[in-house]
Amino acid sequence: NAGVTQTPKFQVLKTGQSMTLQCAQDMNHEYMSWYRQDPGMGLRLIHYSVGAGITDQGEVPNGYNVSRSTTEDFPLRLLSAAPSQTSVYFCASSYSNRVRNTEAFFGQGTRLTVV
């Protein structure tokens, strides 16, 4: 059981380049989300999805796009990379039932540097 697989682990981009961070989960979770982690700021929500075909903006969505065509995949696209997008990115998935709001399962993270 792979859980949440996030690729790549490291990436260096030049300003203005575009790229896609991949996230896939094999747990059939309905909820998926992308966060960025910056020193002293904790994890801030970029975009999230509550099911295939449904996405919404989080706290810091500017400069990023997402789509959710399948339950398993939730890629994050950087449209035109800027140095301010240098950060560590985490993808997470979770599900919910009537008993409890379960914990989120995280990918290993992507360390992105924009030069």
Partner 1 sequence: AQKITQTQPGMFVQEKEAVTLDCTYDTSDPSYGLFWYKQPSSGEMIFLIYQGSYDQQNATEGRYSLNFQKARKSANLVISASQLGDSAMYFCAMREGPGGSYIPTFGRGTSLIVHP
Query: What residue ranges bind partner 1 (CB under 8 A)?
Result: 31, 33, 35, 40-45, 48, 50, 56, 58, 88, 90, 92, 94, 96, 100-106, 108-109, 111
Q: Side by side, which strands form the sheet with 4-7?
A: 4-7, 19-25, 76-78, 64-66
- Sort 106 into a burial class: Cβ within 10 Å, 0-12 / 13-18 / 19+: middle
Smallest gap from Cβ 12 to partner 1, in A, equals 17
Complex with partner 1: residue 44 or 77, whichever CB lies closer: 44
DSSP character at residue 67 = -
Complex with partner 1: residue 15 or 41, whichever CB lies closer: 41
Smallest gap from Cβ 16 to partner 1, in A, equals 27
Smallest gap from Cβ 80 to partner 1, in A, equals 26
Tell me the one-letter amino acid at 73.
Answer: D
Angle at 22 between CA 106 and CA 107, to 5 degrees: 15
Smallest gap from Cβ 57 to partner 1, in A, equals 11
CA atoms of 77 and 110, how far apart (whole Å): 13
Complex with partner 1: residue 85 or 110, whichever CB lies closer: 110
